[in-house]
Amino acid sequence: MTQQTCGFVAIVGRPNVGKSTLMNRILGQKISITSRRPQTTRHQIVGIKTEGEAQFIYVDTPGIHIIDKDRNRAINRFMNQAAGQALRDVDCVVFIIDRTRWTQEDQVVLDKLATVKAPVVLAVNKIDWLEDKRTLLPWLESLKEKRDFAAILPVSAKHGTQVAELEAEVAKHLPESMHYYPDDQVTNRSQRFLAAELVREKVMRQLGDELPYQMTVEIEEFREQERSRGGPVLHISALMLVERPGQKKILIGEQGERIKKIGREARLEMERAFGAKVMLNLWVKVKRGWSDDERALKSLGYDLD
């Protein structure tokens, strides 16, 4: 009988290098939201993949970033802490960088990994965007000097290039263990949490350049109603919190067109994700200073526990 293996794999990197895209690609479905804006991911998101006797428990993390005068709010500190916490007691780390760029924030991530005993696999992402492919090989060679990585792999999370090879490398580091989750479970997050994230994704994709990061989503109602025909209906009410009246005006848009578009796109994505008809209601409320108030953050679900 083949021995079961199971282990935790932290996916880390600076903001916007493709951590969530990679996890979604590995799982074959969307668990983590994505956008072109940095710091889209704010929580640890667990994605579970079971293949035969092997169970991979991936932990997608917020981008580790430098706390400076422009990013020195409680929410920034929370995101860095959440990413750092994910490195405790993991069996393997996937460290993602963006092509042939090495920034100060990449170095911050590398420095954090100095005390991590687990093997670190370096994934050089977005290779499909490289204009001159000849620069890749010497760059990969130079990366060997930065740390004794378990492996260095060029990948494209978006297109799936070499992702199977990355998974095979991670599999080498899973310890013998019984599986922690049922074989058909793909995340430890609730549908309520995913609904909030999907609304936030649509806001960030549409208003990333106009609306600062002081926006979050709270689900006030998540109720399933059985129907005699056509399956159940999910009634979801989501409250979008911003910090200033001007932000509320941007979010609602001219004659409410912006919030209608956000609601329509979020509802369609929820119906695909949950396999049910969704009735979605959105509201916007001003809650001054929530992103720099640790108490408010905890009440809104930003909790390391």
Please say whether the beta carbons of 259 and 282 come within 8 A.
yes
Is 15 annotated among the ligand-binding residues? yes
Which positions ≥6 away from 258 have C-beta within 8 Å?
206, 207, 250, 251, 252
- For 89, what's the count of Cα atoms within 13 Å in the CB-facing half-sphere? 1
Which tokens in the block code for residue 12? 């880390």
Q: 146-156 burial, b for 16+ CB within 10 Å, e for fewer?
A: eeebbbbbbbb
CB atoms within 10 A of CB 203: 25
Is residue 16 a known part of a binding site? yes
* 303 annotated ligand binder: no
259 annotated as ligand-binding: no
125 marked ligand binding residue: yes
Q: Is position 138 annotated in a ligand binding site?
A: no
Q: Is 5 annotated as a binding residue?
A: no
Flag whether 115 is marked binding.
no
126 known ligand binder: yes
* 20 in a known ligand binding site: yes
- Tell whether 182 is in a known binding site: no
Q: Is 14 annotated as a binding residue?
A: yes
Establish whether 244 is an annotated binding residue.
no
The answer to whether the CB of 67 falls within 8 A of the CB of 92 is: no
Q: Is 63 annotated as a binding residue?
A: yes
Q: Is 88 annotated as a binding residue?
A: no
List residues forming the annotated binding site for GTP: 13-20, 60-64, 125-128
List residues forming the annotated binding site: 13-20, 60-64, 125-128
